[in-house]
Chain A
Amino acid sequence: MEQKDLFKELGQIRSLMEKSSKFVSISGLSGVLIGFYALLGTLLGYYISTSHETSMNRLRDNLTLLNIFLILAIVILVLSLLTGWLMARRKAKKSRQSIWNITSKSLLFAVSIPLVTGGVLALILLSQGYYHLIAGMLLVFYGLALTAGSIYTFSEVRWLGILEICLGVLALCLPDHGLMLWGLGFGVLHIIYGFIVYKKYES
């Protein structure tokens, strides 16, 4: 065998081992988009809660501020999941892989345990009136979910997760800045992460 062939052979083994155990169809650009949704949502939330315009006052009278935030958060969540799923499907199609395979199942399972735990805890805090703790707590559990899932996808996800946990802890210490830290964590960090993954793997 030629040396060139041997190098190629070893390279192919390596890439196959990685491809078989990591889900790499997550699109970097979807990370950037999701970050923008979150940032927009945060700004909107900030505007609604601080604006003195009469229309905003009326909105606040009809719906409590809590309900407004809840609706905003759910809309952004659904929009983000949809964007992530559609763009991953497109990327998987390009590399002739299916989006529902062993690696994506493992990834979903690893991520879902901390996420569901965090969601249940958020509902408990909500029902007991500890509103100021929810933003930070959700950031922490989202970060835990990312670090748990990172072994099944890009290694950059682990760092994103660790940074989200740090921001979450900070938000728990400074509950008054919860909204701003949310925007930083779900918005700015996602945009930076998505840009890095896009540059590194997709362009």
Chain B
Amino acid sequence: MKLDLSLYDKVFENRVRLQIMSVLAANEEYDFNSLKELLDVTDGNLASNLKTLEKEEYIVVEKSFVDRKPNTRYKRTPKGLKAFENHLIALENLIKQQYK
């Protein structure tokens, strides 16, 4: 069997991006600070990877103010969820492939 890599998503080759998408797939929405705490990454690293996912239209950003402090929340898009699911299928297929 030829290895099908069409489902594999280059965007998720970056670990932090894959982690962000995992969190947003499991939750309706997540805010910047909670993501930072959970993934244990720096502000800059997280922000640049969120930007990439936003550009790919895998996530959307909602900005608001809570107690006059900026609060940025992120949500997955249907496109992002589909890409994430496909990527997981691709990883599974890779495992199956190596069993043969």
Contact = CB atoms under 8 A, between A and B. Distances in A.
B38 interface: yes
Given A10-B88, A102-B30, A17 B25 contact: yes
B11 interface: no
Interface size class of B (residues with CB under 8 A): 20 to 34
A13 B38 CA distance: 13
B64 interface: no
A101 B22 contact: no
B45 interface: no
B80 to A, nearest CB: 14
Interface size class of A (residues with CB under 8 A): 10 to 19
Contacts of B88: 10, 13
B66 interface: no
Nearest to A96: B40
A7 B95 CA distance: 8
Interface string A60-101: 000000000000000000000000000000000000111001
B interface, by DSSP: helix, strand, loop or mixed?
helix
B23 interface: yes
B46 interface: no
B37 interface: yes
B25 A6 contact: no
A21 interface: yes
A179 to B, nearest CB: 42
B98 interface: yes
A137 B85 CA distance: 44
Interface of B: 18-19, 22-23, 25-27, 30-31, 34, 37-38, 40, 88, 91-92, 94-95, 98-99
Interface of A: 1, 3, 6-7, 9-10, 12-13, 16-21, 96-98, 101-102
